[in-house]
Amino acid sequence: MKKRALISVSDKTGIVAFAHELVELGFELISTGGTYKALDEANISVKYVSEITGFPEVLDGRVKTLHPLIHGGILARDSAGHREQMEQNGISFIDLVVVNLYPFRETIAKPGVTFEEAIENIDVGGPTMVRAAAKNHGRVTVLVNPESYGEVLDVLRETGTVSAGMRKRLAAEAFAHTAEYDRLIASYLERQIETASGFPKTLRFTAQKVQELRYGENPQQKAAFYINSEAGEGTLGNGKQLQGKELSYNNWVDMDAAWKIVREFESCAATIIKHTNPCGVALGKTPVEAYETAYAADPLSAYGGIVAFNRVVDTNCAEALKERFYEVIIAPEFSPEARQILSSKANLRLFVVGRGDTSKSKAGWALRSIDGGYLVQEVDRGTTSGSEWDFVTDLKPTEEDLLALNFAWRVVKHVKSNAIVVTDHRQTLGVGAGQMNRVGSVKIAIEQAGVDVKGAYLASDAFFPFPDSIEEAAKAGIRAIVQPGGSIHDAAVIEAANRLNIIMVFTHRRHFQH
């Protein structure tokens, strides 16, 4: 009995060549709409679906394949009872279903797309055929991904049939395809409904596995990396490793922290990260200047760290990086000369992120798992500018002070709470991270800054609950402090700053990071 394939694809990548090979292998082809036209124009023998159903396409093409002669051919088992019913009703088996769906994701991503246009690009017949074929994968092969065409042709040429194991795998892929399609539609429709919080009743997201990692935070924990399908170009997940050992779970966590810091700055910036906190952040006229300044902030902690840049790593920067041991170097790009220089360090991982506009990414939520559930919040993007700050002390900041305070403020946003950083106008001098009380973080940052602390600037990610931190800052010679404000003891904190001749500004925005 001649085998039959039904082909109806929105993504026509490789479909003409695939269909040609199917005909060579003895398949009879059935198709619809644009796919039929493409195959017919390529002189491939193909029947229009109406020739099978005896019923024309109606309702502006909304009804084409929704017919017993199509779905009976897909859903029928190879059993005596089904064969008898098929013969009685003039139904023939369909053995291969090749379908992918209307481009709903691409449609809703277009600027100015109307609701009516989006709704019209919801596929009905396609998912129905895919699900029918996937359900009946005991007999039927279903293909939703052009990348699978070659694999299926190879086994058909070799054995004349697709194995049960492959059919089951392709069926799982097909159900994943329709599930993601339905998720997109449901999420789009929910966004059209005004809600108080902006969070959906049901959280739906998909991610594709990129790699299994050697282990997680510790050797006894298994781990894998998945890419968020909603994230765009210029995000870390869509970056590319150029060389070096396989990335670990901890590498990815630290890379994320490093990349977020350098993205914070318009000016040329570099950072060195250890255990998600910066041991050095600096600005410079060139990448190498920014890097050397960041390194000088804490050379001891920098060993084995993650380095990130918001500019192209060039020859001079690569020569400086080559002299020290790091796990990963991240940048938007590496010059060819820089890649050549760093290729001598075979284990060093180079990671290029690219220059996509991440502001257009739809990955706007931060997720965190807890025992038995998930916490979801908006990503903490941006911060308040100096024009929105309040100068709350008798001493007011100069323009130079504001530049330094802005630098300190943007860095402290990315330090684990309780977070304190001490800086000058372009370099971190001391970092106090993750302490159980804020004055403890102040003391650590001041101690790390050493003799450079006198006349420096201090930033706190959240308000000071008591004046004790201000008193510690004054003893060390801090010139100015930037903090959110908002404590019930703000008046006492401001009074202490006035008494100790410290400039203080309130940003009215907290950047607490657990």
CB-based burial, 229-250: b 16+ in 10 Å, e otherwise:
bbbbebbbbbbeebbbeebbbb
Cis upstream peptide for 310 (omega within 30°): no
Catalytic site residue 275?
A: yes
Q: How far apart are CA 471 and CA 459, in angstroms?
A: 15
C-alpha triplet 455, 259, 445: angle, nearest 5°? 30
The CA distances from residue 35 to 6, 145, 191, 421, 472, in Å, are 10, 15, 32, 61, 74
Q: What is the DSSP letter of 242?
A: E
Selection from 252, 270, 360, 356 nearest residue 311 by Cα: 270
Eight-state DSSP code of residue 451: G
CA distance 171 to 465: 59
Question: Quick one: angle between helices 68-75 and 80-89, nearest 10?
Answer: 160
For 90, the 3-state DSSP assignment is: coil
Q: Which of 20, 135, 245, 345 is catalytic?
A: 135
- Pairing mode, strands 390-391 and 457-460: unpaired
The candidate with the shortest Cα–Cα distance to 482, out of 465, 503, 454, is 503
The answer to whether residue 135 is catalytic is: yes
Alpha-carbon distance 434 to 419, whole Å?
A: 6
User: Where on the phi/psi map is residue 458: left (φ > 0), alpha (ψ -120 to 50), or beta?
Assistant: beta
Which entry of 275, 322, 345, 425 is annotated as an active-site residue?
A: 275
Question: CA-CA distance, 52 to 72, in Å (whole number)?
Answer: 12
* Angstrom distances, CA of residue 303 to CA of 232, 285, 510: 32, 24, 31
Active site residue ranges: 135, 275
